[in-house]
Amino acid sequence: MKYDEELDCRGLVCPVPALKTKKQLSTMAVGKILRIITDYKPASESVPRDLAKTKNKFLGLERNEDDGVWYIYFQAVK
């Protein structure tokens, strides 16, 4: 999936990835896509769940088996 900005949350545990994602999305222009990278499986579930409470749009989740990371995509909405 194409994206405009990337947030690397590898090595971070909950709730830090969700908090950083919210902060990053708040600085982005409407319609821009953010890709979040995490290597912490619980964050791949909690970030979409926690951000469901915001107006930002969850676009999907991808798992890269080769490097053991998840990619989470959101679109900034205001």
Does 9 qualify as catalytic in the annotation?
A: no
Query: Which listed residue (8, 10, 12, 14) is catalytic?
Result: 14
Query: Which residue, 31, 34, 63, 70, is CA-closest to 51?
Result: 34
Count Cα neighbours of 66 within 13 Å in the Cβ-side half-sphere: 0
Q: In the block, which residue shows the tokens 């676009």?
A: 59
Residues forming the active site? 14
